[in-house]
């Protein structure tokens, strides 16, 4: 049994179906990737896995327990963190306040002080500037803060939605390095990306989604050599 299992999930926005019979496994301790072009349904799947959307059909389990019928705060309390597309920071709140909100669910709020210290150790720059408004940070620093906020809940598993989007190649590399570091610390990673090459290099296993359907899956390195992936996603 995988740590997280998605089974035969269908999701619709009104009359428009966005996910069709999606199934995937996230094994504990691994880096699992989901690749796909714009509009393929990546964020829709993540929003479903975090309780923002309810599947019409199918189930999602975490450590054997159904989570597809739970509200977001309960899912976070179970140890799943979500770094949404674009970071979604609160621009008029300080770095410290943004971090604190990462521990909003009531069980986590109680331990937010030691958690803050842990994050400041992980990202010293956030501690040095804790009273700065997040609107005044650079793009890279913001992504750092978004990662810190996701880590506030002390997650066992973290979903990253297009972490590298909009970052310079150097900064993107930096961000992937942090992901690998978090993984080394024992966090199971689900990496949702359009940056196919870099992602496949660091992931154990990957799924490819097109028009709301999983069309391909395999080990990271083997997909790098896959003819279809080369042609459609790597432009080789």
Partner 1 sequence: MTLFLTVLINGCILGSVYALVALGLNTQYGVAHILNIAHGEFIILSAFITMTLYAGAGLHPLVALAVAGPIVFAISFVLHRTLYKRVKDMSANIGEFEGNAILVAFGIYFIVQNLMRDKWGSATSGYQFMAFPVRIGPADIAANNLFVLLWAVVICVVYYLFLMRTRTGKAIRAAAQDAGAAALLGVKINTIMALCFAIGGLLAAFAGVLISMKEPFTTVSGMNYTTIAFIVVVLGGLGNVKGAILGGFILGIVGYAVSTYDTGMMFAVFYLIVLVLLIVRPKGLLGR
State the residues that interact with Mg ion by CB under 5 A: 42-43, 85
Q: Which is nearer to ligand ATP, 84 or 220 (CB)?
A: 84
Question: CA-CA distance, 208 to 218, in Å (whole number)?
Answer: 9
| Strand-strand pairing, 205-210 and 80-83 | unpaired
Minimum Å gap between C-beta 85 and partner 1 is 10
The entry of ligand ATP, Mg ion, partner 1, none near residue 39 (CB within 5 to 8 angstroms by kind) is: ligand ATP
Q: Is residue 100 near partner 1 by the rule CB under 8 A? A: yes
Per-residue HEC secondary structure of 192-224 comes to: EECCHHHHHHHCCEEEEEECCEEEEEEEHHHHH
Q: How far apart are CA 148 and CA 99, in angstroms?
A: 7
Sheet strands (E) in 129-184: 157-161
Chosen from ligand ATP, partner 1, Mg ion, none, partner binding at 104 (C-beta under 5 to 8 Å by type): partner 1
For residue 219, what are its two tokens? 């080990």
In the complex, the residues that contact ligand ATP under the rule CB under 6 A are 13, 16, 18, 36, 38-44, 85, 194
**Closer Cβ to partner 1, 163 or 223, answer by number:** 163
Among 66, 88, 177, 180, binds partner 1 (CB under 8 A): 88
SS3 for 117? helix
Q: List interacting residues with partner 1 (CB under 8 A).
A: 50, 52, 71-74, 76-77, 82, 84, 88-93, 97, 100-102, 104-105, 109, 149
């Amino acid at each position: 049994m995988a740590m997280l299992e998605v089974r035969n999930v269908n999701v619709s926005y009104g009359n428009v179906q966005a996910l069709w019979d999606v199934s995937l496994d996230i094994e504990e301790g691994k880096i699992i990737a989901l690749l796909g072009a714009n509009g393929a349904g990546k964020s829709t799947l993540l929003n479903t896995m975090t309780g923002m959307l309810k599947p019409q059909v199918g189930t999602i389990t975490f450590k054997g327990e159904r989570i597809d019928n739970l509200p977001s705060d309960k899912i976070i309390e179970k140890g799943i963190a979500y770094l949404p597309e674009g970071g979604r920071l609160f621009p008029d709140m300080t770095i410290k306040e943004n971090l604190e909100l990462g521990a909003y669910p009531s069980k986590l709020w109680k331990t937010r002080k030691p958690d803050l210290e842990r994050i400041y150790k992980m990202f010293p720059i956030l501690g040095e500037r804790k009273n700065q408004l997040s609107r005044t940070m650079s793009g890279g620093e913001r992504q750092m803060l978004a990662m810190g906020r996701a880590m506030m809940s002390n997650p066992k598993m973290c979903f990253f939605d297009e972490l590298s989007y909009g970052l310079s190649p150097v900064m993107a590399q930096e961000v992937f390095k942090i992901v690998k570091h978090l993984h080394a610390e024992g966090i199971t990673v689900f990496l949702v990306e359009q940056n196919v090459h870099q992602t496949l290099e660091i992931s154990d296993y990957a799924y490819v989604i097109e028009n709301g359907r999983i069309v391909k899956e395999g080990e990271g390195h083997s997909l790098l050599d896959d003819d279809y992936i080369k042609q459609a996603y790597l432009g080789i």
